[in-house]
Chains A and B, each alone.
Chain A
């Protein structure tokens, strides 16, 4: 477990604000990391937009061969991947989440600042891996969903799909890490008085989003691991001839994929809910209903993935059920739309660019939502699926909805981020051109879909009746591209030359506007105390309902110079180079694996391990209860403990996916080794040992808590020893199986077994290493009762690994012989 960053005093931290390039490379300030995310995502947005232009250029006339067919496949795949994973998600959670979560909840930084930096660097290198094909080996070409079994080595021999696989794995690591970080931050670091029911709606949306991320991404990770094994180790997770079913990929992908839609949509909902009240001078209408509908959407999003699979023949009963659940989502979404309208209703509106985009969001998103309800109905969907109608639908949702929400937030928050206003004149030009060109590009796609034009088609014959609309769309798509040129020019120009904004340019409602723009490194001089929703508005006008026009405005001193006592109490984290180096290690290992240059893999892994060790010992207050941090925490829980709990929740989904796959594939496995090969007496023994180790772990923790260092260390080493015995049993077992001819890729049973049990063994191994490190630190006198918490953390992890093993042992070993009666 990474140690907490050392907290340095404010006067030492001054160089954080400057520091040149080195300052940016080593920064762990959430605001700077947010800006890094923002710059990266905007550059990638340019790239993704260029890809869209290429698609439209190819489709502008029939029988066009501007691009080669293979390159066209690569381009539409990369357009989808870029826009989803490298533009929308990083802009929402990376830029706005990073920048505004701590500001809106009244915190000095996120819970784990170094982890935050690590997330960014891993994200950057994941983006590079995904785009590596531009310079060498070819871009991913299987669609953003990469349906098996077309992604098998046999059908896709090049490196294209490998970049897809490894790139998404790396991005998954980054997303889960930042989700964990934000989860802990929002739950644990809210300012005093900021109850859940007083949080700004953006924070609600991001909280639910990160929970979705934590619980959805592991399913995709499992699918990608299977794909990797299929491509590199000749397994048959998706090979039909070996008894497997390609449907496994679709299920795993869409269990992730549908929540992913809401991972993109919910933060945009939150942003709109911040923008509309400010420019209507009214509080958000129906606050509890808004929060409720966000949670309800999250609930439902796990039960609807089947609607992406109506065409796969799940049967009428399952189709009907997924239809019903999908249509149910319209209810909370409708609640939100009506609440936004009611927020604007009767308000004193100011039509700034931000407000225009927010209103555009409501309209366009509703259109996208309505066509969504159409293909929630299975029979209708069977006609529309894989046609341009679907393309129209999700562009209305993701562009007209999410991206317009992001643009609204961009114009709204840019003054806070940069300290300068964006040009309203250019902004309005951008809005009106976008509003025309967006609808002109995507609305006719509904017609084309109904006329039968399939999605992802390379080119088409001239007599299909598709010529006019395609030409029309392509021309408007270029106009849309021009609108984004205006946007980029506006951002670049305003960053240097915009009017100075001042702390509260919009007369806004929430805490982030009560501090200077751009905010100082430490955010708040004194951590604010919150007494109601819209805390800053109430501070200014005394009442949430006040319209703020002609009313007495309290004089707020935005930046009182901190007194010496305050300076002494402000602590901000120290910069660190290791996140960058560690991400570099992961990147080297990933690329080395792809090109089969194994020295590079070892170099990368070595670098990673070195950085992990260096990070653990970077700060001297390693594992100690941190008075400043707890002092600012609302719940009084330790951040690291909450973090481990979040991590365990995510791991549950990971193991549940692996176990379900095993259960499904066990009965489909063909040929010799089956579950009867499992050696129950041996495994019972090692299970017993593992359970006993949990007991020793409890004793070790008790020892440390009463400051009995000798027995604490003794039991800690005992736990590690028992863990090693368990691992030894597993190695022996694997060796036995191997010598009996049960190789990793013999049949479905063997590959599922080795994957599941192997991954569990790997978790045990990590646990043993962690325990040994702890024991060494304990023997050197570095862990006393004040640092017993670090033992508690490893204990939680260890008990979790044990519980997983109990499940595996019961379902896979004890029940091996019980087959169908």
Chain B
């Protein structure tokens, strides 16, 4: 056992649990399941962009280490948490999930319902790992790379959201069936959903990146987050090969 989690960590973890409760139960979930595409997208955004960072901020390293670094899982986690692979895994999962036919068939049908939501949190954890890793063994990206990483996230997010927003017909048949409360037509609902994914997410990411930037700007002399400096198991690979 390591030391007791700090108050900030406890608060972050509590917030994550609370957010999960609010998004996966209650009115938001009801609307997301059967009525509004936009509610479903809003739910997704919270599952991917808010809950995982809070979880990562809330976990102390001694709690994560045995899960991530053990005999069986280490080869997998070491590869998957590499920024490039984490990014690609997230992008592929996210893009596939919004393929209209797949979404109609999987996202709301009973056997898959829970696993899709869980999957979103898991790929979200992967996505945020290079930025908020609690383990010095799997170091965070340097500040400029973190900003670049978030900047590049724009490419898959736009590629998925722009066609949904700009489509002139309803793509997701699931939401054409049933009632349309508040007189909100399916097409307007779809545009709103696309915009939440695109603009709402973009503005949110801007706030995140602002936080990262100012943390970086405080340290004129270095671009490496302090957490990476803790004793590390891996030795930095020297550049190039020794010239014999």
Contacts and interface: CB of A to CB of B under 8 A. Distances in A.
Contact of B88 (A211, A317, A803): A803
Interface string A771-806: 000000000000001101000000000000001000
A680 interface: no
Chain A interface mostly helix, strand, loop or mixed?
Answer: helix
A296 interface: yes
B239 A318 contact: no
Interface string A236-278: 0000000000010001000000000000000000000000000
Interface in A182-224: 195-198, 211, 215
Nearest to B99: A815
B155 A815 contact: no
Contact of A652 (B102, B155, B203): B155
Interface in A295-341: 295-296, 298-300, 302-303, 314-315, 317-318, 321, 324-325, 328
Contacts of A630: 239-240
B173 interface: yes
B163 A321 contact: no
Interface string A514-533: 00000000000000000011
B96 interface: yes
B9 to A, nearest CB: 28
B214 interface: yes
Contacts of B151: 211, 298-299
A645 B155 CA distance: 15
A533 B220 CA distance: 9
A197 B158 CA distance: 30
B163 A663 contact: yes
Nearest to A303: B202
B202 A295 contact: no
A197 B217 contact: yes
Interface string A72-94: 00000000000000000000000
A807 B95 CA distance: 10
Given A291-B217, A788-B241, A317 B191 contact: yes
Given A295-B213, A807-B92, A821-B104, A660 B162 contact: yes
B197 to A, nearest CB: 11
A785 B158 CA distance: 42
A820 B199 contact: no
Contacts of A532: 220
B241 A315 contact: no
B101 A821 contact: yes
Contacts of A296: 206, 210
Contacts of B156: 656
B156 to A, nearest CB: 8
A625 B241 contact: yes
B79 interface: no
A821 B105 contact: yes
B214 A196 contact: no
B217 to A, nearest CB: 4
Given A325-B199, A821-B104, A299 B209 contact: yes
Contacts of B210: 292, 296
B166 interface: yes
Contacts, number: 123
A659 interface: yes
A66 interface: no
A627 interface: yes
A303, A653, A819 — which one has the most chain B CB atoms within 10 A of its CB? A303
B152 interface: yes
Interface in B203-221: 203, 205-206, 209-210, 213-214, 216-217, 219-221
Contact of B101 (A295, A659, A815): A815
Interface in B139-179: 144, 147, 151-152, 154-156, 158-159, 162-163, 165-167, 171, 173-174
Contacts of B209: 295, 299
A368 B106 CA distance: 50
B74 interface: no
A259 B31 CA distance: 37
B188 interface: yes
A288 B214 contact: yes
B220 A195 contact: yes
Contacts of A785: 241
Nearest to B198: A303
Nearest to B169: A667
A251 B166 contact: yes
Contacts of A195: 220-223
B86 interface: no
A596 interface: no
Interface string A277-288: 000000000001
B243 interface: yes
Top 5 closest pairs, chain A to chain B, by CB = A288-B217, A818-B101, A636-B239, A317-B191, A197-B220
Interface of B: 88, 92, 95-96, 99-102, 104-105, 144, 147, 151-152, 154-156, 158-159, 162-163, 165-167, 171, 173-174, 188, 191-192, 195, 198-199, 202-203, 205-206, 209-210, 213-214, 216-217, 219-223, 239-241, 243
Interface of A: 195-198, 211, 215, 247, 251, 288, 291-292, 295-296, 298-300, 302-303, 314-315, 317-318, 321, 324-325, 328, 532-533, 625, 627, 630, 636-638, 649, 652-653, 656, 659-660, 663-664, 705, 785-786, 788, 803, 807, 810-811, 815, 818-821
Given A325-B202, A660-B159, A820-B173, 20 more contacts: A195-B222, A195-B223, A196-B144, A196-B223, A197-B216, A197-B221, A299-B209, A302-B158, A303-B199, A303-B202, A317-B191, A317-B195, A625-B241, A627-B243, A653-B155, A786-B241, A786-B243, A810-B96, A818-B99, A818-B101
23 contacts: A197-B220, A198-B220, A215-B155, A251-B162, A251-B166, A288-B213, A291-B213, A303-B202, A317-B195, A321-B199, A533-B220, A625-B243, A636-B239, A649-B152, A653-B155, A656-B155, A664-B163, A664-B167, A705-B241, A803-B88, A818-B99, A818-B101, A821-B105
